[in-house]
Amino acid sequence: MLRRTFKMIFLFYYNGFKSMTVGKKLWIIIIIKLFLIFVVLKLFFFKDFLKEKYSSEDDKSKYVLEEMLKR
């Protein structure tokens, strides 16, 4: 029963995307934009500040543990 439901859902979306013309291009644009947004956010806004302060994995884990226990 569950397998048949997943198959029906998959076929619904598969046939829907297969018959699209303009929609395919729009989905490709959306996926590219999302990828670029997340890459830019990761590079510029979410720096790995632990790498700059601590050299070993042990020091990093101690710092994270201390910060978690403070809160």
Residue 17: CB partners within 8 Å, gap ≥ 6?
A: 23, 24, 27
Q: How many domains does the chain have?
A: 1
pLDDT at residue 71 greater than cutoff 80: no
CA distances from 26 to 17, 30, 71 (A): 11, 6, 44
d(CA 5, CA 18): 20
In terms of pTM, does the model score above 0.85? no
Residue 2 is predicted with a pLDDT of 85
Q: Helices (DSSP H) in 19-71: which residue ranges?
A: 22-44, 49-53, 57-70
CA pseudo-torsion sign 34, 37, 42, 46: negative
Q: What is the pLDDT, as a whole number, of residue 12?
A: 92
- Boundaries of domain holding 41: 2-70
pLDDT, tens only, 14-70: 888 888 878 778 888 999 999 999 998 888 888 777 888 888 899 989 998 999 998
Q: What is the pLDDT of residues 6-29, one digit of tens each?
A: 999 999 988 888 888 787 788 889
